[in-house]
Each structure stands twice: as C-alpha cells, then as structure tokens.
Amino acid sequence: METQTCPVCGVKILVGVVGGDRVQFSAGPPGTRARLWARVCKYVDKPGCINPDGGSQTPTKDDYYKPDVPR
C-alpha cells in the first residue's frame, strides 16, 4: 500500500487498498477518488493535481457536495 499526497489540495490517497483507492478527507469518513473528483478536482484547474479524472470509478449522485439547506 502506498500513500500519495496531492500537491494542489493536500489530500492523502491510499493506493492499493482492497476494493479501490481510499481518499482521506480532512473531515468525515474516507471516500473514493470519484468522490474527491466530484467535490474538489473538477473545480481545480491547476497543474499537479493527482486525480484529474476521478480514477476508474464513476461518481454517484451521493458523491457530489450537497450543502445543508435551512428549512
């Protein structure tokens, strides 16, 4: 298992984990490269991003950021 750190956003990705790479977010549970892409990488247009395409997984509707909306 290898740990990669993105020089752009600082997120850590555990590579080679059974079931796929795991992203260690600064808050909340670990996620996938697809979730990282849907929430961060698709908005960042800087050279050096280590997850420019979200990996081999397709983001689900739950991967995208949903702000809390007051009722």
Whole-number Å distance between alpha carbons of 17 and 31 = 12
Whole-number Å distance between alpha carbons of 71 and 67 = 12
pLDDT in the model for residue 71: 67
35 within 8 A of 63, measured Cβ to Cβ: yes
Looking at per-residue pLDDT, the higher value among 19 and 67 belongs to 19
Does 3 score more than 80 pLDDT?
Answer: yes
pLDDT tens digits for range 15-60:
999 988 999 988 889 999 999 999 999 998 899 999 998 888 889 9
Does 69 score more than 80 pLDDT?
Answer: no
**Which residues are CB-neighbours of 39 under 8 A, at least 6 positions away?**
63, 64, 65
pLDDT in the model for residue 28: 86
